């Protein structure tokens, strides 16, 4: 890409001596954006604005390996690019954090430069720290007040995801094979891998319980319809509509009431039969005498 005098001047703020345009190789990368990624997370616009400032001067490595020998490039300029005509899954104007990075041309990195130009080394991801993980459904910060909404599940037609905000630090950016974000890639490191695994396990258990409750609710609702019909009551549209609006606890109360009503009806119907049987026995005894 063409390196303007202004860009070269910005680049040289990170070097020990002024570099010429011929000495450096410059390329542009899209670090991250505000689209929901493969992990069910997205950056807020405020987070992207903070990252724009934090990533200036950050080094590029491979596969998030912090080793010094893996350093390959350095960012010298960042910018936010908004495309108003393109909307994200969350309904925002698509906004990405782009950066200009440079390498000093050497024999050692000549092959890497050719791989970048050839589109082989393309996908990147970033490592940063986010202070808030906000549920897109209820607005609770999952770090402070965990909620029961499941990432990836739909609630009222909206897919649940986590909004990352309050960025406190940016560590590095890396060339990777499979990034979390489809357009760039984001690898979030919060120092809570173990906690995240426990949360995922609890989410799976919660999802299983929710499915069981849904099945029980369906069975109870079906029993309520049957009891209503067997009790001789009308099972019209009004009753069906009202029953469908009840939650499980309310359905259980209604079911118990209908069961009690049916038992009382059974006793009432059985009593004349018992009295009839008693009269028949008396008449039989009288006749035998």
CB burial class (10 A; 0-12, 13-18, 19+) of residue 189? middle
**Cα separation, 129 vs 118, whole angstroms:** 32
Please state whether beta strands 59-62 and 162-175 pair in parallel, antiparallel, or not at all (unpaired).
Answer: parallel
Angle (CA) 158-163-164 rounded to 5° is 170
- Tokens linked to 118: 């050839």
Beta strands in the chain (DSSP E): 24-33, 41-43, 59-62, 73-87, 93-104, 124-135, 154-155, 158-159, 162-175
* Short-list 237, 255, 235, CA closest to 246: 255
Side-chain half-sphere CA neighbours of 241 within 13 A: 3
**pLDDT for res 188:** 39
Series of mean pLDDT values for 10-residue runs along the chain (289 residues): 90 96 93 92 96 95 81 94 93 94 94 90 90 94 88 90 95 86 49 52 78 86 85 77 83 88 77 59 43
Q: Work out the number of other CB atoms within 10 angstroms of the CB of residue 140.
A: 15
**Cα separation, 184 vs 179, whole angstroms:** 7
**pLDDT for res 193:** 45
Q: For 249, left (φ over 0), alpha (ψ -120 to 50), or beta?
A: alpha
Instruction: For the full predicted model, state whether its pTM sits above 0.85.
Output: no
- Tokens linked to 189: 């490191």
**pLDDT for res 2:** 78
Rg of the Cα atoms in the chain: 34
**Cα separation, 201 vs 195, whole angstroms:** 10
- Tokens linked to 110: 């000549």
Query: Residue-wise over 197-207: b if at least 16 C-beta within 10 A, else e?
Result: eeeeeebeeee
Angle (CA) 126-85-7 rounded to 5° is 50
**pLDDT for res 179:** 77
- Bridge partners of 169, per DSSP, are 129
- What's the mean per-residue pLDDT of the chain? 84
State the DSSP H helix or E strand holding residue 93, giving kind and residue range, or none if neither. strand 93-104
**pLDDT for res 135:** 95
Q: For 63, left (φ over 0), alpha (ψ -120 to 50), or beta?
A: left
**pLDDT for res 277:** 58
């Amino acid at each position: 890409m063409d390196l303007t005098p202004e860009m070269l001047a910005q680049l040289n703020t990170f070097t020990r001596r002024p570099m010429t345009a011929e000495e450096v190789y410059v390329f542009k990368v899209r670090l991250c954006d505000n689209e929901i990624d493969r992990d069910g997370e997205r950056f807020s616009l405020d987070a992207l604005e903070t990252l724009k400032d934090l990533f200036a001067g950050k080094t590029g490595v491979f596969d998030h390996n912090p080793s010094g020998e893996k350093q390959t490039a350095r960012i010298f300029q960042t910018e936010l690019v908004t495309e108003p005509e393109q909307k994200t899954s969350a309904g925002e104007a698509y906004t990405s954090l782009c950066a200009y990075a440079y390498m000093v041309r050497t024999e050692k990195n000549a092959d890497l430069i050719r791989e970048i130009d050839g589109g082989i080394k393309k996908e990147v991801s970033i490592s940063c720290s986010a202070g808030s993980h906000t549920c897109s459904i209820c607005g609770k910060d999952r770090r402070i007040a965990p909620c029961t909404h499941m990432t990836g599940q739909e609630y009222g037609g909206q897919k649940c995801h986590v909004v990352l905000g309050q960025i406190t630090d940016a560590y590095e950016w890396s060339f990777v094979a499979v990034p979390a974000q489809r357009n760039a890639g984001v690898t979030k490191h919060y120092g809570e891998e173990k906690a995240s695994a426990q949360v995922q396990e609890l989410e799976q258990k919660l999802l299983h319980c929710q499915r069981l409750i849904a099945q029980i609710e369906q069975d109870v609702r079906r029993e309520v319809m049957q009891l209503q019909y067997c009790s001789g009551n009308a099972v019209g549209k009004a009753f069906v509509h009202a029953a469908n609006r009840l939650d499980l606890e309310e359905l259980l109360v209604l079911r118990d009431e209908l069961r009690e009503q049916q038992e009382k009806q059974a006793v009432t119907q059985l009593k004349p039969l018992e009295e009839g049987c008693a009269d028949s026995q008396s008449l039989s005894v009288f006749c035998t005498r």
